Structure 1
Amino acid sequence: MKKNSDTSKLLREIELNQSIPKIQVGSFSHLFKPSNMGVLVLFCLLLYVLFLPPVIGMGDDRSSAAIISGSNLYQLGEFTPKESMAYFEKNWGIREYYNDSYNAQITAQTPFINAAKRLDQAYTWDWLFDMRFYGAVILVFYLIGMYFLFETVTYGKRSKWAYVSVGLGVIIFGDTAYTAWINSFYTQALSFFLVIILGTSLILMGQEKLNDDLLIGCFFLSSLLLCLLNQQYALLGLFLGILGINLKYVNGRKSYRRICVGCGALLMLCSLVAFFIMPNGLTNLSAYHSMTRGVLMTADNPEQALKEFSINPQYAVLTGTSYYQAISPETMDGQVMKTEFFNKVNPTEVAIYYLANPGQLYEMLNRSVNSSFNIRPGWLGNYEKTQGYPPGAQTSFFTSWSYLKANYLPGNFGFIIIWMGLLIGVYVRFFRKGIIEKNGRNTLRFVGLMTWLFIGLWELYVAIITSGDTDTLGHLFIFSLTFDLISFVVLGKFIHWIEKQLRKVDWESRKQAFFNRNKDQNKDQGGYRL
């Protein structure tokens, strides 16, 4: 009887112990893993830069006016265009009634701005919109993208070396030249995290680090939002849709394959619809610069180049000029200029011209690459006017990477060709191995990097054919970002290689050999003492 009571008592103690939640050491180690710590550091850094005075943001060059109007917002102060570019505007007005302005535009940005407006109104209950609420919404997705990115480079690495890789990522992608765009209505605020999530979801799928359904959802959603930002991104959806359909070979589940095929087809359809429905944003100014600051400026014979567009060769006198300095505004807006010049210039013909003249294309690529390495436009300020900074002042806080990149990296397309050759040479073996072994996952690391490369080169080319060497900031931002993303992943692999080489070294034997050598030297020196 006593034995039975002891047994029942022991069982009750075991059940009680099992019911008490235990804190495991592993849970703490998971919290402090490199990717989590990197995200935490970035959160603290951006909290200081974007949300605490003096608040950092980007001046407004009026290129986002249609998005702002479509979101029912308006500018509070009576700023001149020059003042709007020189100062960051944190506060905006919210229209009480629906805005039916003819220039209102709805894009992939609109849901994010509307979410920020609801957060603002729920918190303040006034009719003022604080840009920091929009920045907070973007920040959430940016941190998700950075977590994905850190996970890709810490794959299979020991913690001390993984922290080095993550620290490098914080320096590059936490640079204020990048993060200041988060506090703005420019498309760069969204494309920043969308491009990161798009590529890292493919690489992580190949590494089998996260759930396939989660990653394929992130890939298609980020691809769709990127294509719906504006018309010039729209055609990327055709490439991304075809890529998404081919991802069905990664996982054998029927439901997964249906998702890939269905979402890929939907992405391609949305891409085509967006291309024909969304306004192209190309103006006479863009058409003028695509010729005078592009085709004509790089042509050996500008008159002959104009003949290929069926334009009067006398317009060669405009070579190298900008829209505002060439002819009087009345002439530029006149019917003659429209009929004889602007109606004969379109991106398709400019693109065909460059393909037929690769020397000119290469020269324009050189100019664009050089410009892309400086993602801080000199005409946009970072501070509010009330903060007392001079017009156009830009922050120097945490900008080491953007400074080094703009001033010391070779700014020519020849450097990009060498860089692409090294990239393909390092990673193509993984793709080849995956093809030989018929293992789709092994190809995804290479596919993810090549997707970034394709997007970057596509935007570089679009910038040239639509604007020459002027007003290319939006496209060159994407190219600069993809260059940094690919370089960061490659550097992460190089750090991992260094780790593996150091791990092979027998440090204990070398330590003993060093001490033994010192002992022998001391003995030799001792023999000569008096």
Structure 2
Amino acid sequence: MSRSETSGTGTIAAGWKRLFIAATRYASPSLLAAAAVLAISAAALFVKPYIGMADNGDYFRILYSNGIYFSAPDYAEQYFGYFVKHYGIFQYFNENGATLTSSQSLFIRIALQLNIWLLDARTFDIRVQAAIYLLLYTVAVYMLVEALTWRTSAKRGYIIAAAAVFIFGDTAYTAYFNSFYSEALMLVMSLFTLSSGLLIYRGRFNDYAMLAVFVVSSLLLVTSKQQNAPLGILIALFGIWVLLARSGRRYRLSAAGGLTLLLVVSIASYVLIPQEFVNINKYHAMTRGVLPDSSDPEKSLERMGIDGQYSLLSGTIYYEPYTTIDVNSNKMLTEFYGKFGFGKVLAYYAAHPDQAGRMLNLAAKDAFTTRPEAMGNFEKSEGHAYGAQTNFFSLYSTLKKLLTPKTFGFLFLWTIIVVGLYMPSFVSAVRTKNRRQAVRLPLLLMMILMGLAGIAISIVGAGDADLAKHEFMFTIAFDLVTFVTISDALLGRLWRNVPLRPDTAPAATTAA
């Protein structure tokens, strides 16, 4: 290397060093992490080539009932392959009723109104929705990093901030914002749920404000997708530790009311799932789950009270244009769908642990896939190959997919390690009756069980159909819990609790 090249490299390095020093002088780790995620994600979502997610055929369920329709003449040709950013807006009466109930509709309608006011009353630009999600996501990242780095050494705090950007700024996550998949809302609300709980644990910010964020984000997460309905029960159960964080009557009544509402909404969300979607999931639970891996498919059906001849459906999917029987026929309703529920499927796997183990290992292969391979990220006009995906700022998701062991045994081992690492501090907090500092382990265990429940629900509810997308909840939970664990290890907090703010010490928790 020549002297001039060496000098140039040194000048660049010095420039980056000065920039870093300036940034760390005026910005906390949490603020720096949030700003970096915002900048990187904005570049991916709002600067050409725009990055988004192609439609796999699910968009129609949420679009038409919210006043938006497919306007591109060649839209059908772009399924799976290309991201589409423009859609039509209904101008007159919309005869389409809601095919499903989802909190996602709230954000679509807000984006639609902003689009009409600020841009165009006839064409909807999906990037308006992406902007809403990104702003919320930026706040969630700030809260998460703040919960971990508040009152810590600056050097370690900025390392944690960099790790947060590396993981949560990954385009495999943020590309969902330019889509109509509920995974975008799940990602944002999962971060809010965990970060608000951790901020209560740390005694950072107002407890009532954080409690409100915890309850509202949990409600939006649970109602974002029918598959998530059972998760509300887990959050309500482990949320009891958030309720116990302080002993004031007003706080506990507020927390109890919020958790009760969450439980009721979760049950209602499950009960109100349209029968059509129940039948679709039942079909796949049997044809893509129980039957393909059974040594005797006919006998497996007969044990559930179903005619063995339906074993001919093994391996098929509900949407196939040509099948041996009409999947919507009365015969299927009475002789197939009406003969079993998801409880029977769960009981079947419990009685056949070998088959259950194989399904769990199959699920584990996709458990670390943040972005399903089936959907492309680019617009057709960009000239990329059909289904092409971006490599922009996606190193973390790529490494995770390549390097993590693809067995359910690894998931079990990961769970045991995390719980074991945090157990001493939890036991210490319980023994000293420090309820606030006992919140951390239940919160992390809640996220782990939510992720594992996502896998179990996917298998029992739909077999191996579209597993990579159905297991998105586990992907989020794994990254959040692993990030928090590594951060606490770096800060030396795994086996000990952190000092409390004076006004949140045990003697003060009796205040309202």
Specify if TM > 0.5: yes
What corresponds to 2:445 in structure 1?
450
> Number of residue pairs matched?
474
- What are the residue-to-residue correspondences of 1:46-57 with 2, within 5 Å? 46-57=41-52
1:346 paired residue among 341, 357, 368: 341
* Cα separation, 1, equivalents of 2:455 and 2:76: 27
| 1:409 maps onto 2:400 in alignment | no
What corresponds to 1:287 in structure 2?
282
Q: Call closer, same or farther: CA 1:400–1:29 in 2, change over 3 Å.
A: closer
* Cα separation, 2, equivalents of 1:469 and 1:104: 24
Contact in 1 for aligned 2:234/2:450 (Cα 8 Å): no
| 1:151 maps onto 2:146 in alignment | yes
Q: Which runs of 5+ in 2 are unaligned?
A: 1-21, 496-512
> Which sits farther off after the overlay, 461-470 or 273-282?
273-282
Q: CA deviation at 1:230?
A: 2.9
Q: Call closer, same or farther: CA 1:324–1:206 in 2, change over 3 Å.
A: closer
Q: CA deviation at 1:420?
A: 0.9
1:439 paired residue among 429, 434, 441: 434
2:486 maps to a residue whose letter is: L
* Cα separation, 1, equivalents of 2:489 and 2:246: 29
Residue by residue, what CA displacement relative to the aligned partner does 1:16-58 show, whole Å, maximum 9, x if unpaired?
Answer: xxxxxxxxxxx99674111111111111101100011111000
Contact in 1 for aligned 2:241/2:438 (Cα 8 Å): no
Residue by residue, what CA displacement relative to the aligned partner does 1:223-254 show, whole Å, maximum 9, x if unpaired?
Answer: 11112223322232233234445533212322
2:79 alignment partner, SS class: helix
* Cα separation, 1, equivalents of 2:491 and 2:300: 51
* Cα separation, 2, equivalents of 1:200 and 1:98: 42
| 1:418 maps onto 2:413 in alignment | yes
Q: Call closer, same or farther: CA 1:273–1:342 in 2, change over 3 Å.
A: closer
* Cα separation, 2, equivalents of 1:29 and 1:376: 33
2:291 alignment partner, SS class: helix
- What are the residue-to-residue correspondences of 1:62-81 with 2, within 5 Å? 62-79=57-74, 81=76
What corresponds to 1:215 in structure 2?
210
* Cα separation, 1, equivalents of 2:244 and 2:327: 55
The percent of aligned pairs where both chains have the same amino acid is: 32
- What are the residue-to-residue correspondences of 1:330-341 with 2, within 5 Å? 331-341=326-336
Q: Please give the root-mean-square deviation of Cα atoms over the aligned residues, in Å.
A: 2.5
* TM-score, normalising length: structure 1: 0.84
Residue by residue, what CA displacement relative to the aligned partner does 1:40-93 show, whole Å, maximum 9, x if unpaired?
Answer: 111110110001111100011221322111211001113354522211110111
| 1:254 maps onto 2:218 in alignment | no
1:222 alignment partner, SS class: helix
Q: Call closer, same or farther: CA 1:118–1:102 in 2, change over 3 Å.
A: closer
Contact in 1 for aligned 2:229/2:266 (Cα 8 Å): yes
| 1:365 maps onto 2:360 in alignment | yes
Contact in 2 for aligned 1:231/1:279 (Cα 8 Å): no
1:228 paired residue among 223, 247, 252: 223
Contact in 1 for aligned 2:369/2:468 (Cα 8 Å): no
1:52 maps to a residue whose letter is: V
* Cα separation, 1, equivalents of 2:310 and 2:480: 42
> Which sits farther off after the overlay, 470-479 or 46-55?
470-479
Q: Which runs of 5+ in 1 are unaligned?
A: 1-26, 501-530
1:53 maps to a residue whose letter is: K
- Structure number with greater Rg is 1
Q: CA deviation at 1:371?
A: 1.0
What corresponds to 2:7 in structure 1?
none
* Cα separation, 2, equivalents of 1:28 and 1:60: 39
* Cα separation, 1, equivalents of 2:482 and 2:276: 32
RCO higher in 1 or 2 (8 Å CA, sep ≥ 6)?
Answer: 2
Q: CA deviation at 1:387?
A: 2.0
* Cα separation, 1, equivalents of 2:106 and 2:321: 41
> Which sits farther off after the overlay, 122-131 or 240-249?
240-249
| 1:203 maps onto 2:205 in alignment | no
Q: Call closer, same or farther: CA 1:121–1:166 in 2, change over 3 Å.
A: same
Residue by residue, what CA displacement relative to the aligned partner does 1:179-207 show, whole Å, maximum 9, x if unpaired?
Answer: 10011111101000111111121122111
What corresponds to 1:475 in structure 2?
470
2:393 alignment partner, SS class: coil
Q: CA deviation at 1:375?
A: 2.3
What corresponds to 1:272 in structure 2?
267
Q: Call closer, same or farther: CA 1:219–1:125 in 2, change over 3 Å.
A: same
Choose between structure 1 and 2: higher helix proportion.
1
What corresponds to 1:398 in structure 2?
393
What corresponds to 1:513 in structure 2?
none
Contact in 1 for aligned 2:313/2:324 (Cα 8 Å): no
What corresponds to 2:27 in structure 1?
32
